[in-house]
Amino acid sequence: GQQVMQIPQYQHVQEGEDFTTYCNSSTTLSNIQWYKQRPGGHPVFLIQLVKSGEVKKQKRLTFQFGEAKKNSSLHITATQTTDVGTYFCAGPANSGYALNFGKGTSLLVTP
């Protein structure tokens, strides 16, 4: 079945440094979603990418969907301590709106 893999598993940066997490799927995706989970919290939807080669920005966050629709990335410019959390990518599962999540990248930002 479809597998979604993310790297790195962990990233520790100094505040102000950039951060990137990468997501790869074993199959072509109709769309990819990104979620953020703060420590002790639940996943919160960030964005959905649908088109091949799509790039979307949300303030300091830049999301890309690969041309083959099998990979994606999330880049954060000039990290802040509020960016701390685990970032998950997720592709559609076989059932309705269900999702296959990657294992996530945990970001730690130190001041």
Binding site for another protein (CB under 8 A): 31, 33, 41-45, 48, 88, 90, 92-104
Contact between 6 and 100 (Cβ < 8 Å): no
By beta-carbon proximity to another protein, the closer residue of 61 and 90 is 90
Distances (CA, A) of 95 to 43, 75, 92: 19, 29, 8
Angle at 10 between CA 88 and CA 42, to 5 degrees: 35
By beta-carbon proximity to another protein, the closer residue of 20 and 48 is 48
Query: To the nearest whole angstrom, how small is the minimum distance from the Cβ of residue 16 to another protein?
Result: 27
- What type of residue sits at position 95? S
Query: To the nearest whole angstrom, how small is the minimum distance from the Cβ of residue 71 to another protein?
Result: 17
Query: To the nearest whole angstrom, how small is the minimum distance from the Cβ of residue 92 to another protein?
Result: 7
